[in-house]
Amino acid sequence: MEQYILDRAQKWLDGNYDEQTKQTIREMMANDPKELSESFYQDLEFGTGGLRGILGVGTNRMNVYTVGMATQGLANYLKMCFEGEEIKVAVSHDCRNFSREFAERTADIFASNGFKVYLFESLRPTPELSFAIRELGCKSGVMVTASHNPREYNGYKAYWEDGSQVIAPHDKNIIDEVNKITSVDQIICGLHPENIEIIGEEFDKIYLERVKSLSLSPAAAEQYSDMSIVYTPIHGCGRVLVPASLRNYGFKNIHCVEEQMSVDGNFPTVESPNPEERTTMRMAIELGRKVGAEIVMATDPDSDRIGIAVPDEEGNYVLLNGNQTCVLLTYYMCRRWKENGMLDGKQYIVKTIVTSEMMADVAKSFGVEYFDCLTGFKNIAKVIRAEEAKGKVYIGGGEESFGFLAGSFLRDKDGVSACSLAAEAAAWAKSIGTTLYKLIKELYVEYGFYKEGLVSVVRKGQEGAAEIKQMMVDFRANPPKDICGSPIVAIKDYQALTILNPASGEVLPLESDKSNVLQYLTADGTILSIRPSGTEPKIKFYFGVKEPLASLADYDAVSASLDAKIERMKKELNLI
């Protein structure tokens, strides 16, 4: 055992920590040196979006002490930025273990620092927290959540006054202030409980009315109000507001997966609370078959992501990937905006650099401008903030990781509004004689058959972080020369902010914020993107391929060809 780890653990044994925490440390010292090392080898990093980590005791774990120190650092920064002003903050949480405790701890510290605090009465979706910050005139907000991470995780998302997660320069400045909190004795707490106001159902109604304002086809929703819909919150925050929003849109035949309506941070009915995985939606799809659902939907624990399954021609449920969901919602919204006479040349959509280029093609076909940005909805929010200052109007935007945001009254991905619009899109498709499944295939004929793949390589712990770092170093030093036989024509390095043409050696500047991302573009239009996850112990490989689709009769053959190409790419990279 390295001495510095023992020294860090000893500080907790000597410090102002509760006895149960100290006893756990003693037990790790005696019986589990590896866990002691993982728990204390570093401080749980307050990254550009906040905290995320495994629940437990120690400096590198999510607990009331690391949450408290992060909150005090954030409070100190807010006092610096808004000196002399009233500082209001909003605090919410999801269904995870200890989420309520962490939220109350956060609210207490903010209140003790003299802030006005709006604390939700119980779990609420992340998008409602973003909405609350804007609606209530807050300077900041905190959402206690680890999104769709495994059950042993929790996290802490920090937001700024525009309702988006913090970005530069505030992110780095907050990190600096958090790093200055080196002892729990620096935390101001236990004062001014009168500064905390509990908000709940009445505020939900305001949020739901704003979500309803996004409706584009109320006549179709009314015509097919009995359309069968299945929904599951996967034990999380969407359990009340998603069904309420669907009813608000006019839908009456809503079936919820009862076994998954219970609030439970252990997620007992799924291996992973991630709607990106078909096994997670198994129970919802089974219920969909039973009731003949025309759309099956799920939201993740904090209800910002959405998973969708739709029946194919044989009635088998097909799980849409995040790119397909973004494309369908973008097409639906752009087309309905045009048909409703709402397009005037000022509208735009936003996607991330690892999201399907098909989104951009759809937008352009309607004369709608599009923007690319780095991964993460805080970067989509940054584009919205910049473009609204120019008088432009945001229609919607999304990312391949099952996130979509319509409208700009909040600034994070929103599973509540996405579910409502997806159901309305299904009703609208029905009204014009098609289905969402048929529609995506028809769009492939019109725009080209885009297909994407993703491999996430998990490397946990101290050694894993070093391995991921080295993988990025190696790809920069020895980039592939071709992919599936097609030469690479451009290498985009978002860390160096350069675009390299391997054939000529020409290097051009890349207009973007910095991020540890590499993209390889080939002559045949294939795109390979590589980036470490900012929130999980993973390095991610994104594959994008495209072929023309002459007719629906060719769908299966072209689909198989694209799948084979993605598999070949994985083999070339030694990922399978």
Active site residue ranges = 147
Task: State the DSSP H helix or E strand holding residue 39, giving kind and residue range, or none if neither.
Answer: helix 33-40
Q: Give φ, ψ of 162 to 5 degrees.
A: -85, 0
Task: Name the region of 20 (left: φ>0; alpha: ψ -120 to 50; beta: rest).
Answer: alpha
For residues 283-300, one letter each, b for 16 or more C-beta atoms within 10 angstroms of the residue's C-beta and e for the rest, the string is bbbebbeeeebbbbbbbb
The angle, 0 to 180 degrees and rounded to 10, between the axes of the packed helices 415-431 and 322-339 is 60
Instruction: Name the residue type at position 58.
Output: G
The answer to whether 91 and 106 have CB atoms below 8 angstroms apart is: yes
CA-wise closest residue to 68 among 160, 137, 164, 142: 142
Tokens of 564: 């084979």
Task: State the DSSP H helix or E strand holding residue 159, giving kind and residue range, or none if neither.
Answer: strand 153-160
CA-wise closest residue to 234 among 255, 252, 207, 256: 256
How far is it, in rounded angstroms, from Cα 436 to Cα 443? Answer: 10
Distance of CA 466 to the CA centre of its chain: 25
Residue 509 burial (10 A CB sphere; 0-12, 13-18, 19+): exposed
CA torsion sign for 439, 444, 449, 455 is negative
How far is it, in rounded angstroms, from Cα 263 to Cα 301? Answer: 9
Q: Where are the alpha helices (DSSP H) in 389-537?
A: 415-431, 436-447, 461-477
The arrangement of strands across the sheet holding 196-199 comes to 50-54, 153-160, 140-144, 88-93, 116-120, 196-199
Distance of CA 392 to the CA centre of its chain: 25
Tokens of 46: 């307050």
How far is it, in rounded angstroms, from Cα 523 to Cα 520? Answer: 10
How far is it, in rounded angstroms, from Cα 219 to Cα 171? Answer: 44
The answer to whether 322 and 306 have CB atoms below 8 angstroms apart is: no
Q: Where are the alpha helices (DSSP H) in 58-136?
A: 64-81, 99-112, 126-135
How far is it, in rounded angstroms, from Cα 225 to Cα 115? Answer: 45
Tokens of 425: 């899109």
What's the full length of the chain, in residues? 576
How far is it, in rounded angstroms, from Cα 574 to Cα 466? Answer: 19
- Show the 3-state SS of 337-369: HHHCCCCCCCEEEEEECCCCCHHHHHHHHCCCE
